[in-house]
Amino acid sequence: MAEKQEEPSNTQNGEPDNAEEGEEKKKKKVKREDLPPFEIVTGERLPAIFFKFQFRNVEYSSGRNKTFLCYVVETQGKESVTSRGYLEDEHAAAHAEIAFFNTILPKCESSLRYNITWYVSSSPCVTCADRITETLRKNKNLRLTIMVGRLFMWEEPEMQAALKKMKAAGCKLRIMKPQDFEYVWQNFVEQEEGQEAKSFVPWEDIQENFQYYEEKLAEILH
Ligand SMILES: [Zn+2]
């Protein structure tokens, strides 16, 4: 985003130099307030450019400091209701996983069953993993499957222990296969309006990276 420019000082005590400039400023201001830098963003479909960068299952995730979490929540009661959407976070704010429990599913009704699937760009950090474990232990009517593009900090013993606890609490943790990336592309990525949906183009090392992470995960959770 472009840097904010200094406003000319001669507009301070009265009308702006011309009306048009005033309008332009207002628009800019509204835009800035709509999207503060550190906030949880929610929506139905994420822009393709974010998907292509953030979900790529590279081995070293430098620059990828956000978590994108796409979710499908199937609630089974008298009727079955499915809702879907996505959350993204910035490094400095609450993580998307915690935001999911705070905003999307603030409470579980004990009379209902919840089947939840997340498609997340990377696996949770220790704090989020502990929150997931705690939520699953408290709510036996909640099933959670987490499909991740990459493993986050998987070499750390503390991280490995947190993932094991998540598994013991019933969380299914899986590495996304090329077909899963395609599923996210088709169901959670914005397609250009009035145009035919573009088909998913896998990146060169998608299969290789999937296998790499799947091996690591199997070693951690064995
Ligand atoms: Zn986290």
Q: Quickly count: other Cβ atoms within 10 Å of residue 27's Cβ.
A: 10
SS3 34: helix
**207 CA distance to ligand 1 middle (Å):** 26
Q: Using the mean position of ligand 1's atoms as its centre, give its distance from the Cα of residue 97 in Å.
A: 6
CA contacts within 13 A on the Cβ side of 53: 11
Which residues participate in catalysis according to the annotation? 97
Q: By three-state DSSP, how is residue 22 classified?
A: helix
Confirm if 56 and 210 have CB atoms less than 8 A apart. no
How many residues are there in the chain?
A: 222
Ligand 1 centre to CA of 192 (Å) is: 31
| % residues pLDDT > 70 (the chain) | 74
Look over the chain and give the mean of its residue pLDDT values, rounded to a whole number. Answer: 80
pLDDT of residue 142 exceeding 90: yes
Higher pLDDT, 62 or 182: 182
pLDDT digits (tens, 9 = 90+) for 189-220: 887 776 666 788 898 899 999 999 999 999 99
What's the whole-model pTM score? 0.76
40 touches 103 (CB < 8 A): yes
Residue pair 133/169 in contact by the 8 Å Cβ criterion? yes
pLDDT recorded at residue 51: 79
Which one, of 115, 111, 117, lies nearest residue 148 by Cα?
Answer: 117
